[in-house]
Structure 1
Amino acid sequence: MESSPAPPTASPVDWDLAASTAARLCAAGPRFTRHQAEREAVGLRRAADVSVEHVHRITRLEAARDLRDSEVLVLDRPTWARANVGAFSTLLAPAFEHVQQARPAEYARATQGLGTAATALEAGAVLAFMSSKVLGQYEPFCALPGPDGTSTGPEGGRLLLVAPNIAEVRVELNVDPEDFRLWVCLHEQTHRVQFAAAPWLREHLQANIMELVSGMFDKVDTLPERLSARVRALLKGPEADPQSVEEGRGSAELGTDDHPASMGLLELIQDPEDKKRLARINAVMSLLEGHANVVMDAIDSSVVPTVKTIRQRFDHRTSTRSSVDRWIRRFMGMDAKMQQYRDGQRFVKHVVRELGMDGFNVVWASADNLPGEQEIHHPEQWIARIRGQD
């Protein structure tokens, strides 16, 4: 008699509910005729293809010479949200499996009752909000092996371009369509090249995330109290949050060099060990975002004729958000994302200035060459460490 297949592992998140919630709550984007939608998709695919050559020229990474490692997908908002639910479930599956084996009693409690639905509703709402803000995204984790060891996507991940958002921002800024598409794709294709140049990076990040998730399960009992405290602090405004005090080149919205902006909801469930784990992840994300920004800044009018206008209008748009939008971004940790762009960009520019692009590119050779959080803020320390390896 054949044995029955093992039941699927229970998850602390009802991913199907998260996906349906996200799709249902997504704000309606600009209306396209079929012809307009096709033209937008064709334009974005062309820009994604053209941008690879420029990323190769600027980064000098051989991985960008003939980049065929992954898919390029042009999506609407609900499809982007559902794609991210799938990516999160794939990314977190090994972490959840590890927690289930290490702490079966805790895990069982976390996967019973209304908690899985509540988490799914929250995740769906967050992704629905994000779906109207994200222009593009390189998703590396969709291809990682699932719990049964099988592949869950294309081998090299996916480049996601959210067509209605790119079109909406372009119209708002009143900039050249072709130039704006290329400008956006340059940043996102740089992320694609990073993971192609460092094929070990996906597994490295997932291992660190698994440690963080596992550690967070130790503190779940205190989450409601810490969440309430954080909400109260945010409602009182920036003056109630010592991390958002304006100082130096920082601002009340985005934090300072010494006091980075809020990390959002993750900040609620960290003890000192969790903070160390998150710091390692944050340092890598700062590197990736900063490097992509440096590539964008290296583009001049010979490649994107209206690049100066695009930068000026995009920066102005970022600085004039409504107070409600700014509050939501701070609560969700999106301002911390902007801090990553700046921290990482300063690091990359300093290293390239001192070592040249080829000298900087040793960062992609192995996990040992990644900068730590301290080194992101003090790139001379990373340079000294790398030089000591010669």
Structure 2
Amino acid sequence: MSDTPFGFGLPPEEPENGDEGKKEDQQSGGGQGPFGFGLPGFGGPGGDNPLAAMFGSMNPNDLGAAFQQLGQMLSYEGGPVNWDMAKQIARQTVAQGTSDGIKDSSIGPAERTAVEEAVRLADLWLDDATSLPSGAGSAVAWSRAEWVEATLPAWKELVDPVAERVGAAMGDVLPEEMQAMAGPLIGMMRSMGGAMFGTQIGQAVGVLAGEVVGSTDIGLPLGPTGRAALLPANIEAFGKDLGVPQEEVRLYLALREAAHQRLFAHVPWLRSHLFGAVDGYARGIKVDTAKLEDVVGQFDPQNPEQLQDALQQGMFQPEDTPEQKVALARLETALALVEGWVDAVVHAAAKPRLTSADALRETLRRRRATGGPAEQTFATLIGLELRPRRLRDASRLWASLTDARGVDGRDGLWAHPDMLPTASDLDDPDGFVHREQLDFSELDKMLGEAAGGSAEKPNLKKDDDSE
């Protein structure tokens, strides 16, 4: 991963071992990440970037296809990311298969039934572990290609604000009186930027589709509301070497998916809170316009590789700002609380029923701690690093709250964002749990105010208890 959130840093050094090193880099997906225009895969195998792939070492027979691809790049007039291109490349990446050797395929009736039964049983078990009722109106089994299709709208919502702010710098570097004259050039650069963004994001989403096991792996609801989703092929790959029966692996992952669905379904402010933090981060982005002015002044439309070279040499270097740091801290804490709550609730539901509960819990924790694929992609897209220590601290805090105040008292804190623990509370979970000013009487008072105000109170009653 690059040194900057978007990977707009210097390109990786050429490996000393020649073609073998290049091959390894291609297999690993490159070293710069979704916004670090350094991944292969656009314009044919073996290219280090979209334009180099089209114009470097080209077979004359491929010239027509190369100009067609360039035409697509230059004719794009949509938003900051060419999502049509992103979708196409993600689907191509999925079709090529992943390092686990498992090819994507259509979901059969037996797999659909297994997923539906697992989610149904998981919801029954969770009834004893949380006061939030079921949030999954349906359960579906997805292929990797179906995951790509279903999650692209959420990726668009997450990535567009960041890409738009960076892309807007292309039109801000010239004096106002010169922008009209340079309009075609700026439009060309934006079109190419949208295509390059689409290329890298498409590859990232395609690779991620080969790793995720559901729709909530990164702690955000990427799929449609109220639909619990699992990927049978990836669940098989995940449990392959664990020594745990496949049915238990599927059920444990169904518990996690169903727990996320409950939280996002019955805490109505949570999704906008998380996505809003991403937007707040994007608004704080500042771009090194001096370098951009240099490139715009010298750009030769007959030499499009010049723009690609400038991008790789760090034309865009987002600078950390106080606003960004605040937004990222807010997002990091909220995601840790979400993941910690799910971890604690799922453990409470699984521990008495699954002999492998402890082992599966630790495996998933380590997956996050070692920078699992979902976390790495998210970190590269928006610059977020979710520290594993925060996840464990948050899980311990929610477990302590359960012991001290019961399930209702714990889940009641989700009624309003101001009631949640802060980053400093994660440093001292026991202090938060036993703080005198947050006793039951004050909690009841805050719950009443939240229910009567603009924030909607979570439904803390089971469906069969409601009047």
Which bin holds the TM-score, normalised by the shorter protein?
0.5 to 0.7
Structure 2 CA distance for partners of 1:186 and 1:106, relative to 1, 3 Å: farther
Q: CA deviation at 1:283?
A: 0.9
User: What does 1:197-346 align with in structure 2 at a 5 Å threshold?
Assistant: 197-216=266-285, 218-219=286-287, 221=289, 269-300=319-350, 302-308=352-358, 310-311=360-361, 314=363, 318=367, 332=380, 336=386, 338-346=388-396
1:16-71 deviation line (CA, Å, top 9, x unaligned): 1111112212334525897x84322221121011111211210122x23xx45x44
Residues 143-165 of structure 1: per-residue CA shift (max 9 Å, x gap): xxxxxxxxxxx5x3433312111
The residue aligned with 1:16 is 84
Residue 353 (structure 1) aligned with residue 403 (structure 2): yes
1:101-125 Cα distance to aligned partner (Å, 9 max, x none): x999559969813211121122122
Check 1:220–1:105 CA distance in 2 against 1; reply closer, same or farther (3 A cut). same
1:376–1:141 CA distance, 2 compared to 1 (3 A): same
Q: 1:128 aligns with which of 202, 206, 209?
A: 206
Q: Secondary structure at the match of 1:206?
A: helix
Change in CA separation of 1:269 and 1:376 when aligned onto 2, cut-off 3 Å: farther
State the match for 1:118 in structure 2.
Answer: 196
Pick aligned residue for 1:369 from 407, 419, 425 = 419
SS at match of 1:73: strand
Offset of residue 324 of structure 1 = 12
1:179 aligns with 2:248: yes
Percent same amino acid among aligned pairs? 22
> Which residue in the other structure is 2:154 paired with?
87
User: Where in structure 1 are there 5+ consecutive unaligned residues?
Assistant: 1-7, 143-153, 225-230, 232-266
Partner Cα separation in structure 2 for residue 268 and residue 131 of structure 1: 28
Instruction: Give the deviation of 1:318 after TM superposition.
Output: 4.7
- 1:25-36 counterparts in 2 under 5 A? 25-26=93-94, 27-28=97-98, 30=102
State the alpha-carbon separation in 1 of the partners of residues 375 and 419 from structure 2: 36
- Offset at residue 316 of structure 1 (A): 10
* Residues 371 and 301 of structure 1: CA distance in aligned 2, closer, same or farther (over 3 Å): closer
Higher RCO (C-alpha 8 Å, min separation 6): 2
Q: Tell me the amino acid that sits aligned with residue 410 of structure 2.
A: F
Which amino acid is 2:212 matched to? V
Contact 2:347 2:361 in 1 (8 A): no
AA partner of residue 30 (structure 1): I
Q: Matches of 1:364 and 1:320 in 2, distance apart?
A: 25
Q: Determine the structure 1 residue equivalent to 2:125.
A: 54
For 2:86 and 2:416, how far apart are their aligned partners in 1? 35
Distance change (3 Å), C-alpha of 1:319 and 1:82: closer
RMSD of aligned residue pairs (Cα, Å)? 4.3
Q: Distance in 1 between matches of 2:230 and 2:320?
A: 33
1:63-118 Cα shifts (integer Å, max 9, x gaps): 23xx45x443311223223332221224556x589969x99955996981321112
2: CA distance, partners of 1:381 / 1:157: 35
The code of the aligned residue for 1:15 comes to W
| Structure whose alpha-carbon radius of gyration is higher | 2
Please tell me the residue identity of whatever aligns with 2:82: D
1:353 Cα deviation from its structure 2 partner: 3.2
Q: Report the Cα distance in structure 1 between the residues aligned to 2:112 and 2:82, rounded to whole angstroms.
A: 32
8 Å contact kept, 1:25–1:125: yes
Aligned to 2:115: 44
Q: How many residue pairs get matched?
A: 320
- Cα distance 1:160–1:293, how it changes in 2: closer, same or farther (>3 A)? same
Return the letter of the residue paired with 1:20: Q
In 2: Cα distance, 1:374 partner to 1:222 partner = 39
C-alpha deviations, 1:207-250, integer Å up to 9, x for none? 3222222222x3365999xxxxxx9xxxxxxxxxxxxxxxxxxx
- 2:262 maps to amino acid: V
Native 8 Å contact 2:79 2:164 kept in 1: no
TM-score, normalized by length of structure 1?
Answer: 0.67
Partner letter of residue 167 of structure 1? Answer: E
Q: For the residues of structure 2 that align with 1:73 and 1:222, how far apart are their CA atoms?
A: 50
Q: Within 2, Cα distance between the matches of 1:205 and 1:343?
A: 19
Distance 1:288 1:103 in 2: 34
Q: 1:310 to 1:361 in 2, by over 3 A?
A: closer
